[in-house]
Amino acid sequence: MPLSALDKKLAIVPAYNEEESVARVVAAISEQCPDFDVLVVDDGSTDRTAERAERAGATVIRHPFNLGIGGAVQSGYQYAQRNAYDLAAQVDADGQHDPKYLPDLTGALCADDQIDMVTGSRFREDAGYKVPRVRRTGIMLFSALMSLIVRQRVTDPTSGFRMTNRRGIELFARDYPHDYPEVEAILLMHAHRLRMREVPVRMSERLTGRSSITNPLSAYYMVKVLLAVVVGLFRSRPAIEPGGEAPVAAQRGI
């Protein structure tokens, strides 16, 4: 797939009570990457997130109540699928993900038509990103585990700065993990034999708000994701979709 200006590109911005930063993020994307349409998925916010996003020029989907990050991101992919987008990227509403890397992601995705998803990794090179040691240990554990399962190096399995093509969009519109979906999404892609790679990015500190993974919850997070990964390995083969443009043959296990 050549890098073409005709491709329809969508930036999915899941937002939950991010009125302080969402407008800045939307503006940054439309300014730096005018070829991207911006979709903000307002996941049942109780503040003025939807209003500010709309005023900043984004299309807004409003959930009637909070579904969690997985449900919000999936809504974005469903919108991308219904409106026939060729590429969809996930960008956090808190300002962690700098849209200036979107062309890097697009380039990496379009350069090789074997690749279905590109993830922006904080740890691919020494990008100088400081994370608390506890979280870093957790990320390293998942990194080792996921690398073992998908048999390629996954340095940043918890990064939500991702871009995927039509095949990824269709898969995620149909099936996307629930609570802390980034790690499980890698497993899902692997099970459907979609390929991924990483490109180095720098992430900035959050503009406002707090991470959805707060420290007391990290242990719960890790156990939950580990359970999901282990159970996922034993799940029966996902159904093979008829009529796919490429053999999306599902594969099970390690």
Partner 1 sequence: MDSRIQTIAVIVTALLLLLVFELVRRRRLMERYALLWLLSALVLLVLAAWTGLLEKLSGWVGIATPSNALFVVGFTFVMALLLNFSLAVSRLSDESKILAQQVARLDQELRAAQRRLAEAERGDFPEHAGEPTLVRQEETVGER
The residues binding partner 1 (CB under 8 A) are 8, 37, 41, 59-65, 67, 71, 74-75, 78-79, 82-84
Cα 99 → chain centroid:
14
For partner 1, the closer CB: 32 or 78: 78
Q: Rounded to 5 degrees, what are φ and ψ at 197?
A: -145, 170
**Cβ at position 62, least distance to partner 1 in Å:** 6
Cα distance between residue 18 and residue 93, in whole Å? 7
Tokens of 137: 């240990």
**Cβ at position 176, least distance to partner 1 in Å:** 10
Instruction: Scan for tokens 């730096």, then name that residue.
Output: 32
Strand 59-62 with 36-42, pairing: parallel
Cα distance between residue 80 and residue 8, in whole Å? 9
**Cβ at position 2, least distance to partner 1 in Å:** 20
For partner 1, the closer CB: 49 or 143: 49
Cα distance between residue 22 and residue 13, in whole Å? 8
Cα distance between residue 13 and residue 221, in whole Å? 22
For partner 1, the closer CB: 7 or 104: 7
**Cβ at position 68, least distance to partner 1 in Å:** 9
Span between the terminal Cα atoms of the chain, in Å: 29
Strands in 196-200's sheet, in edge-to-edge order, are 59-62, 36-42, 9-15, 87-90, 162-164, 117-121, 196-200
For partner 1, the closer CB: 27 or 141: 27
For partner 1, the closer CB: 41 or 171: 41
For partner 1, the closer CB: 37 or 156: 37
**Cβ at position 75, least distance to partner 1 in Å:** 5
**Cβ at position 245, least distance to partner 1 in Å:** 15
For partner 1, the closer CB: 123 or 180: 180
Q: Are 13 and 58 in contact (CB under 8 A)?
A: yes
**Cβ at position 58, least distance to partner 1 in Å:** 11
**DSSP conformation class of 235:** S
Q: Are 63 and 42 in contact (CB under 8 A)?
A: yes
